[in-house]
Structures are given as C-alpha cells and as structure tokens.
Amino acid sequence: MSTLGALLHSTGQRLARAGIADARLEAELVWMTALDIDRATLYVELQEEPPASGADTAEALIVRRLRREPMAYLMGKREFYGLSFHVAPGVLVPRPDTETLVEEALRLLQSRGPVPLEVADVGCGTGIIGISLAVALPNVHVYAIDIADPALEVTTLNAERLDVSARVTVLKGDLLAPLPGRVDMITANLPYVPSKQVSRLEPEISLYEPREALDGGDDGLDVVRRLLDDVPRRLSADGWVLLELDPRQMRRARTIARRPFPAARIVTQLDLTRRERVLIIDTSLAESASGLAFDQKQQPRAEEHQLHQANEDLLRDAGDDPAASEAASEHDGADGQANQEKPQIQ
C-alpha cells in the first residue's frame, strides 16, 4: 500500500479532475475523517501506510465526493460560530454568512441585559442559529421550529451535544404556528432561492440539499411573506425579526416588511463581503409619525454597527401605496436577476 502522503496527493488530483475547488484541502478532510485524526497527526503520519480499514473508508468517501455530495455530509459535522454542529443528509448545510445574523441577534439580545428572553428560530435546520444564541446567552430560551423531521432530529441532537437542550424547545410545525405565545425575537433563514434557479445552483446544493429548504417560490420570497404576515400576532411589542436573504432581494423584502410593520425601524446588516445579508425589523425603536426612517442623530450609531439603510426606499415605502411599491420592486428585481449568470446561496 502507498504512504499516506502519496494517497493524499492522488486524492487531491482525483478531486481536482472532477472540478472540485480546494481539492487539496478537501483531500485532507477526507483522510482526516476516514482515519479520525486531526491535521497535525495527518502530517506527522505522511510517510506511513494507513490501515487497510481506513483506506477503504477513505475510498468510499472519495467516491461520494466525486459524485458531488457535500463535504459536510461526508464529515458529519460543520463548524459554525466556534461550535461544532452535527450535519446529516436531509438538512441544509450551515454556511458562514449566517454568522452575520447570529452576531446581530446577540447584539440586540444583549442590549436588554440579563433578563429572561425568548427567541423563535424558524426553519431551524441543524439548529445553528438558535443553539448558538442559547450557548452564548444563558438568559435566552429558544423555540427551534421546523416542518421537516430530519431537521428536528439534528437540532435535538445538536442541542444535547452542546448542553443547551434544557433551553432549546424543538417544535414541529409550519413557520410560527407551534409557538405557545409571543416571543422577544424571531430569527429565520428561510428558503429564498427563486424556484427556476434552484436547478442552477452548484450540484452539491441542487442535487443533495433538501429542496424545501431552498425553494422560495417565484421570486424567492413566498415563505418570507407568509412569515411576516403572522409575525405581528407572535412578536412582543418591543421585539425584533432577523431574516437572512439574498442581497438582491433586500429592496423588495423591505417593502414586504413595511406592510405589517409600518412604524418599525427596518434596516439591513452587511456580511463580511460588505453585501446586505440580514434584514432587521426593530419594533422597539418605532419611527416617527412623519415616516422618516432615521433621525440624522442616529446615523453614526448605524454606521458603528455596519448597518446599511436605503433611506430613499423607506421613505417611498412609507408614503406610497404598498402594492405599487412592491410592483416596482419586482420589476427592478426581475431586471437584476436577468443580469445574473448564476443564482446565489451563501
């Protein structure tokens, strides 16, 4: 049998020929998973022959990866916000951009101090959002909601592994329907890919990740509309809603959010690439009756937290007919999508 170093090299070549980016890194992950070792040990043992059982396991993983199955499914885990989460087929793979939502949620929740707070994480998937909040804030109780059994099972397991199951209640149901009462915050990473674009996503996503966690309808915002229609009955009077979306959907999403929340402060948060990633509806800081989105004195605070606000859009949304505003947004959004060669999911 060849040495581990030679096998690692050949694995990287096979993955590269299949068009897989970062083939060398993924080859390392395959062998680390197969041998159940860390990277330091991998490099220490490069000149040694791996055990036959480990080589067989590695080959099975390589075949799966060549078929473009996500690496997270092969490894059975994914790091997120400094925590290790179990991942399995049938649930959406956690992505780094969702950490932007977690960071903003933590900032807002911490602004209330150590008082007990309740959060509803809708479409919880692996539970990364709600569980990350529960781990960071011992005063927070999370309702993790999903309609899919695989997601509920993985979330339950992750809450147990990270020792927060006592403060994470897993509920099955459609959007906010299972909630027992009002909550202080609603977070959601809902399906937001337009239906016609799902098949154009990378094969790791389009072939393996659950379509119901991706497909957001004609414009990608069907599920968001349904959620926001129900939020006023489920959110406390001074609560927040945080939604992860495609940056190209933000203008239209603000218009949709303005309907049930005409007086709320609606802003967006930039991700690490400086693109609008999280829509934030803040009912604790209602806007003035004039409809102005921001008083000038509030601008420095918004910049401090990297909040990007399209004031002209909000002024229009507050003053124009909502249906006409959304129609204009849909026209602009359609043009933008037509100019995109490939849909995005982060």
The answer, yes or no, to whether residue 239 has pLDDT greater than 50, is: yes
Pairing of strands 77-80, 83-86: antiparallel
Between 212 and 302, name the one with better pLDDT.
Answer: 212
Torsions phi, psi for 291 (to 5 deg): 90, 5
CA–CA distance, 257 with 251 (Å, rounded to integer): 10
pLDDT, tens only, 105-123: 999 999 999 999 999 999 9
pLDDT in tens, 8-48: 999 999 999 999 999 999 999 999 999 999 999 999 999 99
Residues ≥6 apart with Cβ < 8 Å to 129:
98, 101, 102, 105, 121, 187, 189
Range of weakest confidence among 9-13, 131-135, 285-289, 290-294: 290-294
Band (pLDDT 50/70/90 cuts) for residue 150 is: very high
Place of tokens 């459609």: 174
Q: Which of 189, 197, 247, 242 is nearest to 219 (CA)?
A: 197
Q: What is the percent of the chain with per-residue pLDDT over 70, rounded to a whole number?
A: 82
Is it the case that residue 314 has pLDDT exceeding 50?
no
Tokens 């690490």, residue located: 272
Residue owning tokens 């197969």 = 34
**Average pLDDT of the chain to the nearest whole number:** 86
pLDDT digits (tens, 9 = 90+) for 127-141: 999 999 999 999 999
Contacts of 177 (CB under 8 A, 6+ apart): 230
CA distance 119 to 127: 12
Q: How confident is the model at residue 345 (pLDDT cuts 50, 70, 90)?
A: low
Q: DSSP 3-state assignment of 15?
A: helix
